[in-house]
Amino acid sequence: MKVGIVGASGYSGEVLVKLLLGHPQVQLAAVTSRTHAGKSLASVMPAVRGIDQDLKFIDSDPAALAAGDIDLFFLALPHGAAAIYAKALVTAGKRVIDLSADFRITSLETYQKYYGEHHAPELLPAARFVIPEITPTTWKTEAKLIASPGCYPTSVLVPLVPLLAAGVVAREHIVVNSLSGVSGAGKKIEEAYLYCERAESAKAYGLVKHRHLAEIEEQLAQRTGAPTIIQFNPHLAPMRRGIATTITVPAVAGATVESLYAAWRSAYAQSPFVQILASGETPDTAYVTGTNRVDISAVYDPRTKNFVITSALDNLVKGASGQAVQIMNLWSGFPETTGLI
């Protein structure tokens, strides 16, 4: 199967390139970049020297891509730009996996509140938000356009959805604190992201209306059957990649850490990319970097009657490109782990 990447020169695009070049079931047939059009892939990404298949970057022309023979496209573009390409590609019958936020939110009103104008609102009803571990499998036959989730939402939804669905935790007073590596901001030349500014520095940002909050709360409502409001506090941490999330949530009457773990084991018994750690063994970003895993763990605090849940993932792999490849595998009938282990 031929695949292409639109916007392949960013951080998530580079991870996608590496994963797809090594994938035994697909041929990476096109990589696009307006900045690097005409340059060889290896000259822009020296890490793929020798395995780059002599690929060159081409211009990001939606009409030309739609007219070609590539079966499936990944959109590794900023929100806003992705919708323009999705419109051309989906109309031409191509399958599309979008790594931006353009199709993660089903409500146009909510999207506009957090992101502004939407450039292809007519595609929203056809798009499917997919975290493979928690999304019902009907998306495999229904969709032509997949919204691959954000890194923060994946770190929150994977541990929390089964617990809310099983009635183990309360819906009120949920507080989420998340730390992200600097690569989560994408490749940009801004003073705030220079090494001297970020090294030895950690700070909260995006309070109290981070864009991923809309995605998280909409999915919590859809996947657990009732509206759920959370306090979401993102932080920028002095590391290149990784997401570390701590969720503090009240336990329902009678719930124990054993019942919490039972809900997780039931939900993720067949999920190769969810690792459930023992209570008290907190996940570490150092051990998920470069993997498509999300590690989760929980403890119970008898003093506050809260569960304290922790998760960790690589924001560029399970939080972006690896999850997109996982989705492609399932969508195309390949083994879920192909090219990811």
User: What is the arithmetic mean of pLDDT over 86-103?
Assistant: 97
CA distance 92 to 106: 22
User: At a CB cut-off of 8 Å and minimum separation 6, what does 174 contact?
Assistant: 160, 228, 229, 230, 231, 247, 248, 249
**What is the per-residue pLDDT across 263-320, written as a single tens digit (0 to 9) for each?**
999 999 999 999 999 999 999 999 999 999 999 999 999 999 999 999 999 999 999 9
Q: In CATH, which of 3.30.160.100, 3.40.50.720, 3.40.50.620, 1.10.10.10 is domain 2-148?
A: 3.40.50.720
pLDDT at 189 over 80: no
Q: What is the pLDDT of residue 186?
A: 79
The boundaries of every CATH 3.40.50.720 domain in the chain are 2-148
The boundaries of every CATH 3.30.360.10 domain in the chain are 152-315
Specify the DSSP element, H or E, that contains 275. Answer: strand 274-276
Length of the chain, in residues: 341
Q: Could you tell me which CATH number the domain at 152-315 has?
A: 3.30.360.10
The secondary structure of 46-111 as a DSSP string is GGGTTTSTT-BEE---HHHHHHSS--EEEE---TTHHHHHHHHHHHTT-EEEE-SSTTT-S-HHHH
User: What is the arithmetic mean of pLDDT over 61-71?
Assistant: 95
User: What is the arithmetic mean of pLDDT over 220-233?
Assistant: 96
Respond yes or no: is residue 151 known to be catalytic.
Answer: yes
Work out the percent of the chain whose per-residue pLDDT is above 90: 92
Q: Is residue 208 packed enough to be buried (19+ CB in 10 Å), middle (13-18) or exposed (0-12)?
A: exposed
User: What is the arithmetic mean of pLDDT over 120-143?
Assistant: 96
**What is the per-residue pLDDT across 72-90, written as a single tens digit (0 to 9) for each?**
999 999 999 999 999 999 9
User: What is the arithmetic mean of pLDDT over 81-103?
Assistant: 97
Q: Residues 82, 134, 151, 298: which is the catalytic one?
A: 151
User: What is the arithmetic mean of pLDDT over 64-77?
Assistant: 96
The secondary structure of 123-142 as a DSSP string is GGGGEEE--TTTS-TTHHHH
